[in-house]
Each structure stands twice: as structure tokens, then as C-alpha cells.
Structure 1
Amino acid sequence: MHRPPTAEAEVAEELAAVRPALVSRYAAELAGARAAVLTRLWRALAHEPLPWVAGRERGRDGLTVRLADGRRLHGPPADPYATAAYVAAVGLDGVEYDDPARLTTALAVAHGAGFAAELGHSVASLALSRAGHAEGAERWPVDDWVWEQRVVDGHPYHPNCRSRPGFSVAEQLAYGPEHGPVVRLGLVPVPAGSCVVSGAWPEELRDGGRLLLPVHPWQVEHVLKLPCEPGPSAHPLMSLRTLALSGGRHVKTALSARLTSSVRDISVYSIVLSATLSDFAEALAARTGGLLHVTRTLGAATAGSPELAAVWRESPGVYAAPGERVVPVAALAGTGLPASPGWLARFARLALTVGLRLLDLGVALEAHGQNLLVVLSPAGEPLRLVYRDLADIRVSPARLARHGVPVPELTGRLVTDDETALRRKLFGSLVAGALAATAGSAAALRAALETAVPDLPRTPDLLALLEEPLPAKALTLMRLSPGAPGDQWAGLPNPLL
């Protein structure tokens, strides 16, 4: 029977046409990429509340997952906080699968066919990313975008860590930060009267009665299909749609593509609130005793559509003194610093001190490894934190009022007094996300938290962190539940219990 070509084969064919020198390296990276994605998938099968999982049995020889139809999956003991690829194969009723896409196809669950295709793309794109990544010579680079481009594998726990549907191989090489490209942005002229503007729009991007909106070239070709003028060159950052320009500013562009879980555009809602949020966050950060800075939103504009919008932000690097470096938490593994248990404990203490302080005041940060950055001393010590991108924080008016903090004029999804929602937002991103991925294993995370926690104020939020399962987004369940909007959650084993 004829089988359609796999994503791995399709990428190999395209790569042979556009960058033949990478073909052999790409082929050599495929096995490792399969294991990396399979490890992330096994985490979900072991811990997420998947409706077709009937039970889980942990034994000396590993973990068995009982399916509702009577079949059984078997694999190694599942560490929900591991970042190294440790799952080479998973057995399904005695048949071994080393390919996450084929395993998902064999599971034959609702919406599994589409998810299997995404996993195939994730494997192929991850192998391409690893093959095309050029190791930097500088251990402590000065330019902030260099740190960002060292993050090759994408999301540490999402099986779709490198899935980029809609991107050809040539486009991945041209726009993926791990490949080290320089991207030439476009400028779309839009009548100023038809735009929603928040903050101060740069004067150099005004042309009489028109605003010049920076647009990503992928967006121009695949979505907008509008004529545009040549714009500035920039270095893509981890999120792919945000880029660093000369002079230190960052620009977040609309990029209507599905990366990992979400379609990445810029909502009109976030544009309208951007200046208010920026001013509010700056004032709130001042209550942390200098331990936190929030990058300011300089200006934001939309032509009334999530597909044509842009946000200007200052670079996190402006908060570094001479000799210091500002490093995204997701890039810390490349510094070698997290290998020290003492360093990891000091970093955890800093991050939890800031995160819990803001949560008590009434703001839950989405402090994952992309949004959260750490200021390092010349010797590599964690000194302060920098947070960027306020589009998905949560704000509690009741908590703010309790502390006498002026409540900003906010509406919509950002506003909630639900304690579970607030704690999930912070704990899921910071503890189960940034800290866990920096630690790289349950044992290392537990050791860091055991050292850091005794120094923290005993707030109700801290007690919830210590005594309850650790919330994490159920990333695979969300991809298999297209009709269920919003986040879904899993309760991971608490490393401190």
C-alpha cells in the first residue's frame, strides 16, 4: 500500500534543493529529535488528564498506562520535569514505537490524526534546527539577540516544540532564530485615522497622515498579500515574531501562524491595553525593592486587525549595568550555570521572591523561560529579574485593593480574582516551567526548592505551592481538544511532597 511521504522525508527533499550541505547533518539529527519529542509526549501520557487514559501503574520496570479500550502503553519511569531526551521507545501492546507521530497514529484517539501530523513536523523541524544551528564562539555575548538564538529546541515540555506548519524549509532557515538569520521587515502604510494607537508611535514610522506598520515577511507573503515598503533589518528572537533592531529596540510583529499551540497574531485588545499595562507594571515592579524590571512598551498600533499590528518595546538589555548580562531563562542551559546546585537554589529564591511578592500584591506573571530574564553579574551570579510581554498576565482587583494599590482600568481576560486561576498562571509558568526546565529534573528542582523555600514569607500562596500538586498546562490535551477554548491543566507531582 502506498504511504504518503512523512514530514521527515518532505523536509529532506526540500533541504536537498535549498541547502544541500545540511542534508547529512539533518539525517544524523533525526533519531535524537524523535527521542526529544517522544520524551515530551510520554510526559503528557504519564501525567495529563487525557479522557482515554483509564489508569497508570508505576512499577520497578517503568510506567504502564492503561487505555480505556483495554490496551496498554509501557515506557520508562516518567520524570515530568526532565528536559533531556530519555525515552527511546514506548511499547503499545508489545509493539515498540520510537516515532511519536506513528505512536499517536496507532493510539487512534479523537483528533489524533491531526496531532500526529503536527508531531511529525515537530520532529523534522527540530532535526533541521539542530542541523542548521551554528554554535557561537562567545561564551558571554553582549548582544541580547545572540542569547536568544542559542535556544535551539524550543519549548522544553511541549511535544510540538518545533512544529512550524506553513513554513517551508527555506522559510525556516530564513526566519528561525536558531539559524542565525537577519530578517528584512516590511512596512505597510496605513492611514493614521484607521489605526488604534497606544503609547507613542515612533516618528520615523510616520509618513504624513500615515503610519508605517512593521510586518514580518512571512506574514506579507502568506496572509496580508499587500504591497509594502522595505523596512529595517532585524535579528529574530525566541518567539520568532519578535525581533531586535539596531539601537536596542524590539518589535513584536503579527505572525498568523500556529507555533506550538497558538496562532501568533496580536489582538486589538492587547494593543488597546498595552500602554496602561506598561505603566501599571512599571509602578508595581518598583515595589520589589529593585529585584524586578519590566520592559516598557514604547508604542503599539493596529489597523483594526490582529493580522496587521505591531508593538515596540525596549530591550531587556537596558537594565544591565556595565559588565552584567541579561539572559533569557530559556537560554541559561547554554551558560553552564544551572549545573551548580547552589546557583540554582539562589536563582530559585530570587525568582520565587519576586513572583510570590507580585502575586500577593495582585499580579500573576506568565513567567516562563521566554518572558523571564535574569540579570547576571560579571561572575554569573543572579542579581535581578527582567520581565517582558504583558499580554497574558492576570490581574486581581481585589488583591490590589487589599494592598492599597491603584487598580488600573483593565477589562477582559486579564482580570480575575479567582485564586486558582492566579496561582495556575504563576506556578505553571514559573515553577513547572522556567525553574523546572532550568533544573532539568525532578531531583534537581526539589533540591533547589528545598534550599530556597525556607527563606520565603509564609503567604497563603506559598502554602498552596508547597502542599498541592504543581499546576502545568496540559499541552497535549489542549491540542487534542480543538473544541475546548482556553487553557486546560494537569496536576504534576509536587517535588516538595
Structure 2
Amino acid sequence: MSHSPTAEAEVTDELAVVRPGLLARYTAELPGARAAVLTRLWRALAHEPLPWITGRSRGAHRLALRLAGGRTLHGPHADPYATGDHVTAVHLDRERYDDPARLMADLAVPHAAAFAAELAHSVASLALSRADAERSGEWPERDWEWEQRVVDGHPFHPNCRARPGFSVADQLAYGPEHRPVVEVGTVPVPAAECLVSGDWPDELRDGDELLLPVHPWQAAHVLKRSYDPWRSAHPLMSLRTLAVPGGPHVKTALSARLTSSVRDISTYSVAASAALSALGTELAARTDGLLHVTRTLGAATAHSPDLAALLRESPEEYARPGERVVPVAALATTPLPRSPAWLAAFTRLALTAGLRLLDLGVALEAHGQNLLVVLGADDTPLRLVYRDLADIRISPARLARHGVTPPALTGRLVTDDETALRRKLFGSLVAGALAGTAGSGPALGAALRAALPDLPRTPDLAALRQGPLPAKALTLMRLSPEIPGDQWTALPNPLVLEPGTSDQ
């Protein structure tokens, strides 16, 4: 059986030079990495509105997808909320595929070749991440140590670990799962040529110049210039955001494609950051202590998405003695006893806070990276912390209805469209953070049903209960690069989903 020799062989060759001790473990992790990416791809094929899939039919134990042109894909039933590596092979007509990149290449649909290359990179990079994963089993003590536990990346995106443009040495030096210390630098820029939002600290000023924090990869590969040393820091899940010990989290521009997006920082985001931070603080105060929003301390840009930075509070600021603040994406990696009762309590907390904010007028992008949970000494979920307001949605009409003055913002963050607002919250929180924590449709549905009696009775809750669940069509988006912005799919409602009925 042939696989994706280029990506896998490239990593093998580079590892032999930079970390030969990982070679055996990397090779052993490849089959599981292929299954992990294939599982995510098969979920997309089963549930996204891909134009070249003309029909889906369920048998007793298999799902069949009819393709334009007459071919048929066969594979196991696809629970849209399941995580893990459970799809080890599918069949295109009579040929067996255990390699997602080879499958996509042989489907030969528009843009398949480029996407296949990304899938091959995702497999190779995921195997590398798993080969070097922390295996001590000890509970982390610091915020960045929790982030390092998220080895597999996005729980539902086939490009869960794709980092094209990053060599093996780059991944080992900058990927949080490899536990590096990154030397963040600064680049001087005349203050008159910069846009600043919020308070820019004196530490990052030098006379008439601002010192903009820069990621070393960005300096070498995009800016192509030297930089001055500033702070040693620990990369977080997003890779471009780093925790300075005893200090803030620093979000840097990193103009590489990670998962789906190029991670630069737009001038729009910098300009909006102070107003968004003030709004987040104001609305969080109305949640009776259920939710905190980390403040953006300052943001600056040299009017370039490639040279900008944001300074943000650490979520640890909101932990009391004896408490832990854990990114939701890391919950699946912890030894927590995620019993049905615990999952219901967490679901109740997350949806109560999310629905309150949505009713007030803000839809959070509450996926497992942005949303953190404060755990008590007995692991009870107590409160939530939300970070990174750069992709929320704001409804001026809803804010005004609750006596909140809308921020003086225009552009993509602002909408009164109820479908867009609900997609933002439910697609990220329910189909993302909660589904990834539950690990299956039946478990997610049970948690939602247990939480329902205590949730705020809003029109948004009624919409969540009645219709299918929106989720980003991540594979469709990668296969239609000519269409800007998010595209969506409708997943079976987990509140009514029963075991064995998870296919469309």
C-alpha cells in the first residue's frame, strides 16, 4: 500500500539530521496519524455539502457516498461529533485507502491536488507531534504546560496539524507540543508610522520608536531581517501566541498557513482591540461571575499584517488559590473523570455563559482554543475564561436593547443577522468545544439534554433545540479557495441524535 512518500520521507530525512532519537517513534506513529486525519476527512465527506457528492445512503454497517461521474465511496458510519482515530480505511469503488492524501489525490476533484499535499503534511506533522508528546502523566502547573498537551490540534479539521513552510527543525523549535522555549525579539519602528490601540508599555518603547514583538520564524522567513532579543516565552496552542513567564501573553504575526488560515494580524484587528476589550469586560460583568474575558493590554502595528503584535492578560489572572485554568481543548488530554455528570455540569456552565452573551449582543468564537474553564480543587467546573476577541460577532441592535452602547466599530465583526450570530456561537461552542470534550454524538446529546432545564430561555436556545447544528464546512472551504469567508454545513442535532443514526 503506497502512502504519501514525499511528506513522510521528508520528515524522516530531516529527523535523521536534527533529532535521530525520534525516528523510531515517528515511524511507529505514522499509521495512527493517517487514521486520525482520515477520520476527520471522512467526517467531512459524510456531512459537508461538497458539490461533487451527489448522494449518501446508509446501510446496516456502512455509509456509501455517490460521486459525480459514477464512482462510489464506502466507509463506516460517521458520527459528526466523534473524535479519535477510528476510521482506518475507506474504499473508492473496490480500492482500499488508508492514506487520506492519496484518497484526495485520486478523487481528482477541483483543488484536490493542493489539498492532498496539505493532508500529507498534516499526517507527517501529526506523527512528529505524537512522537515527541509529553508522557509523564503529571498534572501541569503553568498555563503553557496545558497548551503543550494538545498534541493532535483541531479535533475535526483534516488539516489538524498541517504546518506547510515549517521544517522539522522549525516544528521542534516553535511547536508547543514539543515544549520549546522561544526567544521572542523586537523590531524598532518609528512611532509615527505605527497604529497603537490601548496602552503600549514603556518597556516596548525607545525614544521615538516602538519596539514591536516579533516571532523569530517571522523575522527570518517573512521580514527577512534581524531583531533584538526581548523575552524568553512559551508557545501556546496557536503557536504564534506565547506566554511570557510572569507577564502577558504576546500574540505575534506569523504569516504561515496553519490549519486553514494565514496567521497575520490585520490593521483592522489592532484598531478594534481596545474597544473590543472594553466591551468584553463590560458584558462579562453581567454574567454573575460565570465568565471572565482577558483584557487586551495594548496592540500595535506598523500598518502591515506581517509586523504587528497584541499584549493580552494571561488567563491565570482569573484563578484563585487552589484552582486551575484549563483550555477546553486540553480537557480531552487530562486525567479528569469526565463522567456524564461532570460533562453535563460543564455543558450547563458553557452554554449558560454563551447564551447570556449572545442575548446581550455578542457571539463568542468559543472553540476549545479560545475558551478556558476554571476548575476547583475537586475538578468541578466553576467559571469560564474567554480570550481573543478578534473574531467575535457584535449585534448593535441586541446591545442597544440591553442598554449597552455599541462600540464605534464597522466591518466584519458587526452584524444583526441572527443566523450569522447563532452560527458563530453554536458552531464554535457546541459543534466545537463541547463536541470535542464529549467525544461522540450520544455523549454530547446526553450532556445537552441534562443541561437544558437550567439554560436561559432565550430565542437562541429555542433555535438550538429545533434545528440542525451549524458547523464550519472546513474541507469545503479548503476545496473552494476562490470563495472568501466561512462556509457552513448543518449537522444532525445532537439533542435528538441517537446511536446508530448519525449519518445524513
Query: What TM-score, normalized to structure 2?
Result: 0.97
Equivalent pairs, count: 495
Q: Partner residue of 2:502? A: none
Q: Partner residue of 1:208? A: 207
- Note closer, same or farther for the CA distance 1:277–1:173 as it changes in structure 2 (3 Å cut): same
Q: Partner residue of 1:355? A: 354
Q: Partner residue of 1:6? A: 6
Please state if 1:242 is matched with 2:267: no
SS at match of 1:17: helix
Matches within 5 A, 1:432-443: 432-443=431-442
**Cα distance in 2, alignment partners of residues 57 and 441 from structure 1:** 21
Q: Partner residue of 2:106? A: 106
Give how far 1:248 is off: 3.2
Give how far 1:489 is off: 0.2
Higher mean alpha-carbon deviation, 400-409 vs 179-188, is at 400-409
SS at match of 1:66: strand
SS at match of 2:138: coil
**Cα distance in 2, alignment partners of residues 56 and 48 from structure 1:** 11
SS at match of 1:407: coil
Q: Deviations over 1:324-359 (max 9, x none)?
A: 000000001122336311000000000000000110
Matches within 5 A, 1:42-441: 42-139=42-139, 141-337=140-336, 339-441=338-440
Structure 2 unaligned spans of 5+? 497-504
**Cα distance in 1, alignment partners of residues 440 and 58 from structure 2:** 18
Residue 338 of structure 1 contacts residue 439 of structure 1 at CA under 8 Å; is this kept in 2? no
SS at match of 2:286: helix
Residue 295 of structure 1 contacts residue 316 of structure 1 at CA under 8 Å; is this kept in 2? yes
Give how far 1:5 is off: 4.4
Q: Deviations over 1:30-88 (max 9, x none)?
A: 00000000000000000000000001001102100111111100000101001111101
SS at match of 1:165: coil
SS at match of 1:301: strand
SS at match of 2:231: strand
Residue 337 of structure 1 contacts residue 343 of structure 1 at CA under 8 Å; is this kept in 2? no
Give how far 1:3 is off: 11
Structure 1 unaligned spans of 5+? none
Give how far 1:226 is off: 1.7
Task: Write the letter of the residue equivalent to 2:94.
Answer: G
Task: Write the letter of the residue equivalent to 2:57.
Answer: E
Q: Partner residue of 1:481? A: 480
Q: Partner residue of 1:22? A: 22
Q: Partner residue of 1:41? A: 41
Residue 81 of structure 2 contacts residue 436 of structure 2 at CA under 8 Å; is this kept in 1? yes
Please state if 1:471 is matched with 2:470: yes
Task: Write the letter of the residue equivalent to 1:371.
Answer: N
Q: Deviations over 1:166-188 (max 9, x none)?
A: 00000000000000000001110
**Cα distance in 1, alignment partners of residues 36 and 155 from structure 2:** 9
Residue 4 of structure 2 contacts residue 101 of structure 2 at CA under 8 Å; is this kept in 1? no
Task: Write the letter of the residue equivalent to 2:110.
Answer: A
**Cα distance in 1, alignment partners of residues 178 and 336 from structure 2:** 24
**Cα distance in 1, alignment partners of residues 472 and 101 from structure 2:** 21
SS at match of 2:249: strand
Residue 3 of structure 2 contacts residue 99 of structure 2 at CA under 8 Å; is this kept in 1? no
**Cα distance in 2, alignment partners of residues 261 and 84 from structure 1:** 20
CA RMSD of aligned residues (A): 1.2
**Cα distance in 1, alignment partners of residues 52 and 102 from structure 2:** 18
**Cα distance in 2, alignment partners of residues 268 and 239 from structure 1:** 19
Task: Write the letter of the residue equivalent to 1:154.
Answer: G
Q: Deviations over 1:186-245 (max 9, x none)?
A: 110111111100111111111111111110011011100122111211000000000000
SS at match of 2:412: helix
Higher mean alpha-carbon deviation, 91-100 vs 58-67, is at 58-67
**Cα distance in 2, alignment partners of residues 380 and 436 from structure 1:** 19
Residue 450 of structure 1 contacts residue 496 of structure 1 at CA under 8 Å; is this kept in 2? yes
SS at match of 1:311: strand
- Note closer, same or farther for the CA distance 1:89–1:5 as it changes in structure 2 (3 Å cut): closer
**Cα distance in 2, alignment partners of residues 126 and 303 from structure 1:** 34
**Cα distance in 1, alignment partners of residues 4 and 369 from structure 2:** 36
**Cα distance in 1, alignment partners of residues 246 and 426 from structure 2:** 35
Give how far 1:402 is off: 1.3
SS at match of 1:339: coil
Residue 332 of structure 1 contacts residue 338 of structure 1 at CA under 8 Å; is this kept in 2? no
- Note closer, same or farther for the CA distance 1:155–1:387 as it changes in structure 2 (3 Å cut): same
SS at match of 1:81: coil
Residue 192 of structure 1 contacts residue 209 of structure 1 at CA under 8 Å; is this kept in 2? yes
Task: Write the letter of the residue equivalent to 1:60.
Answer: A
Give how far 1:458 is off: 2.1
SS at match of 1:258: strand
Residue 82 of structure 1 contacts residue 442 of structure 1 at CA under 8 Å; is this kept in 2? yes
- Note closer, same or farther for the CA distance 1:338–1:431 as it changes in structure 2 (3 Å cut): farther
SS at match of 2:158: coil
Higher mean alpha-carbon deviation, 181-190 vs 225-234, is at 225-234
SS at match of 2:56: strand
Residue 338 of structure 1 contacts residue 344 of structure 1 at CA under 8 Å; is this kept in 2? no
**Cα distance in 1, alignment partners of residues 135 and 197 from structure 2:** 39
- Note closer, same or farther for the CA distance 1:137–1:457 as it changes in structure 2 (3 Å cut): closer
SS at match of 2:268: helix
Task: Write the letter of the residue equivalent to 1:287.
Answer: R
Task: Write the letter of the residue equivalent to 1:411.
Answer: T
Residue 54 of structure 2 contacts residue 66 of structure 2 at CA under 8 Å; is this kept in 1? yes
Residue 49 of structure 1 contacts residue 490 of structure 1 at CA under 8 Å; is this kept in 2? yes
- Note closer, same or farther for the CA distance 1:159–1:413 as it changes in structure 2 (3 Å cut): same
- Note closer, same or farther for the CA distance 1:358–1:4 as it changes in structure 2 (3 Å cut): closer
Residue 7 of structure 1 contacts residue 124 of structure 1 at CA under 8 Å; is this kept in 2? yes
**Cα distance in 2, alignment partners of residues 155 and 97 from structure 1:** 23
**Cα distance in 1, alignment partners of residues 201 and 242 from structure 2:** 16
Identity over the aligned pairs, expressed in percent? 75
Residue 4 of structure 2 contacts residue 102 of structure 2 at CA under 8 Å; is this kept in 1? no
SS at match of 2:63: strand
SS at match of 2:332: helix
- Note closer, same or farther for the CA distance 1:445–1:279 as it changes in structure 2 (3 Å cut): same
Higher mean alpha-carbon deviation, 458-467 vs 304-313, is at 458-467
